[in-house]
Structure 1
Amino acid sequence: MISAPPADVQSALAAVAGKAFSHVFLVACGGSLSIMMAGEYFVDRHGGTLACDVYNADEFVCRDPRRLGPDTLVVLCSQTGTTKETVRAASHAKGRGATTIGMTLDLTSALAQVVDHAVVYQASYTTGKPIDAAYGNYGVLYMLLAGLIDAQEEAGLAADLLISLGSLQPAIERAHQTYANRFEAFAPRFAPQTAIYTLASGACYGAAYSYAICVLMEMQWYDSQAIHANEFFHGPFEVVDRDACFIVLLGLDETRRLSERTRDFLFKHGSAENILTLDGAELDLTGMVDRFKPYLVPLVFFDTLWRFAYQLADLRNQPMLEGRRYMKKLTDY
């Protein structure tokens, strides 16, 4: 069980507790942007008087929302804290009078230095260090948002969130066991393919987005696309045939029926051996409060799928991190 958020999260929340925000902007790029999508869903469902938008960092600067100002909070995330677009977005927000909170691994980074309040989170995917997922990027973002909503609306979110986060890491470990045989069966079929699509909706869409662009494309060079489960029926379903490969994430939130519809279409018109389905209903989420399960299922999915990506990489003889051509190797783009 987690008794309280980390000290830096508590400090940031205490610093903004007296402010009545009308709007929160969640701003980042790439994998960091993907967690913001789940954050927006969280605020939409629980933030009665608080509006929320998600922006790619550089588009945030270019679009320059008129409502950005002293009564708004901008939460930014960059794992290294050096993403130039995100640092620029933080400076832009401060220039418009907004309050800024930066999430990063490095409290000495450029992002941490420019924002009003910096908070650190843990990561295992690129650092290789085991962590408690409660203190990963999703967990810290949820702590910030729950604390913010509680301060403004007395919603009583934080206590149940902390209880649920305390049960997250055990749930992830159980999920690895649940999916082990499934991944073992699908990896040899998916490995030689040229294209793999991910589908999801609601709180799970960000996980599908990140897996498509930051794992399948970035690290394994698949042709890939994250497709929203309902948008699937407005064009993308035309790619479905017996050879097309899909990863479908079935969450536990209010949009679940959208993903179920997509799954059913794929099994009817595609090939079951090429449809890898992960269903939140099959997970053991013991210890989590029911209303927070939908927001934590995407973390379980992504952690297990990360291991699946390594299985693909081994079969393809394509290293997961070291094999990248441009990421972390070029600076002039």
Structure 2
Amino acid sequence: MSLPSAFDPGVTAVLSALDLKAVKHVFFVACGGSLSIMHPAKFLFDQHASLPSDVYNAAEFVARAPRSLDRNSLVVLCSMTGTTRETTAAAEFSRSKGAMTIGLTMEPASPLARAVDHVVGFEAPYTTGVAIDARNSNYSRIYQIVMGLVSLTGGEDLTESLIESLFALQPAIDGAQAAFAPMFEDYAPRLAKKDVIYTVASGANYGAAYSFAICVLMEMQWINSQAIHANEFFHGPFEVVDKDRAFILMKGLDSTRPLEERADEFLHRFGSAENILVLDAEKLDLSGIDPRFRGNVVPLIFFDTLWRFAYKIADLRQHEMLEARRYMKKIAY
């Protein structure tokens, strides 16, 4: 079985080179923002594949040393610059156990690229400032890897539908930017004054909530935050809800939407609507995106739109998003 011609050539080359009949377990491994894409990747894999999979922080992956990691394992790693030491170490550790490795990175000559068996490139606007088509993003590449694996290991072949959906993703993002713009203008002045902003989501959206909390609000804005799973919200975190507390809630289209809806109802019951920013995927135009993949592509739409919202907050706070960082990539740690 072959993959669609529209698939990224790098993904096609890598999957063609692997001994997929030998794969018995898939590990998704990374740190920080790159780790955030592993959560929806596993969600998609769980929905369509019969193989077991796990998501790990790269350093813990090495420290924990799963006994199931062996020559029948496939380890998918990601680092935007390819210089994340923990992820490179995880790749080396995986290969020492005989596992097959794929590294996603923007830099083909990076340490991660040298440490893995196969490299898949992608583009990202967040640190370069250069606009891209979302079909070339890390989300797109890892989804192609996931559904390619499903198809080539005997599962349902949805690769044509996936790639058609990914080609329709950028127009959906552009439309979402316009749809959410008035809401962002309304909420930015209030949330810019907050010292704490929580993010809430579940399922495929959880990675986007996690990344926005730790990489944008905390790293780039110095705003205290925590990504709260929409159901874990009811097992402790909901006790902080009051009329002043700020939340960003993502309501997606995957099978876990009822969990997010329950959190939404509680937040508006005991919190204040003016401090609860809700991104609802049901309000978006997702024309051209297969309904079977809408739940999985929505997180990228949410994250891309929230990135612009973050810059609005930064301007109001007179805070530079990347340049103001005190420690990240500036000192040894």
TM-score, normalised to structure 1, is 0.98
- Who is 1:74 aligned against? 75
Shift of 1:257: 0.4
Q: Mind listing any 5+ residue stretches in structure 1 that lack a counterpart? A: none
Aligned-pair distance for 1:3? 4.7
Question: Matched residue of 1:122: which SS?
Answer: coil
1:256 corresponds to: 257
The alignment of Structure 1 onto Structure 2 pairs a total of residues equal to 330
After superposition, the C-alpha distances for 1:256-275 in whole angstroms (9 at most, x for unaligned) are: 00000000000000000000
Deviation at 1:20, TM superposition (A): 3.0
Structure 2 CA distance for aligned equivalents of residues 53 and 254 of structure 1: 19
The 3-state SS of whatever aligns with 1:153 is coil
Q: Does 1:41 align with 2:43?
A: yes
Q: Aligned-residue CA RMSD in angstroms?
A: 0.9
The residue that corresponds to 1:304 in the other structure is 305
Residue in 1 that maps onto 2:277 = 276
Distance 2:160 2:22 in 1: 21
Aligned to 2:203: 202
Q: Which secondary structure does the structure 1 equivalent of 2:55 belong to?
A: strand
Return the alpha-carbon distance in structure 1 between the equivalents of residues 284 and 34 of structure 2.
25
What's the CA shift string for 1:23-63, capped at 9, x where partnerless? 10000000000000001101111002x11100000100000
- Alpha-carbon distance in structure 1 between the residues aligned to 2:49 and 2:158: 10
Give the letter aligned to residue 329 of structure 1.
K
C-alpha separation in 2, matches of 1:5 and 1:110: 26
- Cα 1:18–1:204 change in 2 (3 A) is closer
Contact 1:17 1:148 in 2 (8 A): no
User: 1:245 and 2:214 equivalent?
Assistant: no
CA distance, structure 2, for counterparts of residue 180 and residue 17 of structure 1: 47
Distance 2:248 2:121 in 1: 31
SS at match of 2:132: coil
Corresponding position of 2:12: 10
Instruction: Determine if contact 2:175/2:285 at 8 Å carries over to the other structure.
Output: yes
Q: Displacement of 1:17 after TM fit?
A: 5.0
Structure 1 residue 154: deviation in Å? 3.6
Paired residues for 1:59-70 under 5 Å: 59-70=60-71
CA contact (8 A) 2:6 2:163 kept: yes
- Once the two structures are aligned, what percentage of the paired residues are identical? 57
CA contact (8 A) 1:72 1:98 kept: yes
Please report how far the alpha carbon of residue 114 of structure 1 lies from its aligned counterpart in structure 2 after TM superposition: 1.0
Given residue 34 of structure 1, which amino acid in structure 2 is its aligned partner? S
Letter in 1 for 2:128: T
Corresponding residue of 1:220: 221
Partner of 1:73: helix, strand, or coil? Answer: strand
CA distance in 2, matches of 1:3, 1:293: 22
Structure 2's unaligned 5+ residue stretches are: none
SS of alignment partner, residue 248 of structure 2: strand
Give the SS at the match of 2:322.
coil
Question: What does 1:86-105 align with in structure 2 at a 5 Å threshold?
Answer: 86-105=87-106
Contact preservation (8 Å) 1:3, 1:162: no
- Residue 16 of structure 1 and its aligned partner are, at CA, apart by 1.4
Corresponding position: 1:320 with 2:321: yes
* Residues 118-267 of structure 1 aligned to structure 2 (within 5 Å): 118-267=119-268
Which whole-Å CA distance do the structure 2 matches of 1:119 and 1:225 have between them? 31
Q: Please tell me the residue identity of whatever aligns with 1:200.
A: A
Q: Which position in structure 1 is the counterpart of 2:32?
A: 30
Q: Distance in 2 between matches of 1:284 and 1:294?
A: 13
Deviations 1:271-320 (A, max 9, x none): 00000000111110000111010000000000000000000000000001
Distance across 2 between alignment mates of 1:169 and 1:86 = 29
